[in-house]
Amino acid sequence: MKLRLRHLVLALTLGAVIPMATPQGGQVGQVGQVGQADQDETHLPNGKLQRDEILKTEHEQNIKDAAKLAELSQQLQVDLEKNDRFVLSLDTLKKTDEIEKLAKRIRSRLRHY
């Protein structure tokens, strides 16, 4: 009997709290949909979709950054092999920072897809 009473109290409490937590008008999840549809339909003066052109540009930049990333990682490997295990040049540290920045840029662009 106590268990049924607890379930009833829980159901009544949730029934009272949930309507207060939702936005007015009951439009849950529709906030971003209208803006997204307008953004997807934006055309450039040449007639192409703006979204497609942005994705194309980001893809080309990702390819360039990936090539630079591969080149820097090869240089880093050579630097690490020629340096003593106790000595590390500032140039090598700068390369690791640049590798990290490139990887973060590529990752952030890929998350837009």
Tell me, what's the pLDDT at 35?
A: 52
Cβ count near 106 (within 10 Å): 19
User: Residue 62: what pLDDT?
Assistant: 95
Q: What are the extents of the domains in the chain?
A: 49-113
Q: What is the pLDDT of residue 11?
A: 52
- 105, 65 in Cβ contact below 8 A? yes
Tell me, yes or no, if the pTM score tops 0.85. no
Q: Which of 105, 99, 113 is nearest to 61 (CA)?
A: 105
- The answer, yes or no, to whether residue 110 has pLDDT greater than 80, is yes
Neighbour tally for 38: CB within 10 Å: 9
- Mean model confidence pLDDT for the chain: 76
Rounded to 5°, the CA angle 6-12-14 comes to 100
E strand map for the chain: none
- Residue 12, pLDDT above cutoff 70: no
Q: What is the pLDDT of residue 85?
A: 77
Query: Which tens digits make up the pLDDT trace of 26-79?
Result: 444 444 455 555 555 788 888 888 888 889 999 999 999 999 999 999 999 999
Torsion from C-alpha of 64, 66, 70, 73, nearest 10 degrees:
110
Residue 18's pLDDT band, with cuts at 50, 70 and 90, is very low
Task: Give the rounded percent of residues in the chain with a pLDDT score beyond 70.
Answer: 64
CA-to-CA distance for 65 and 89, rounded, in angstroms?
24
List phi, psi (to 5°) of 43. -105, 145
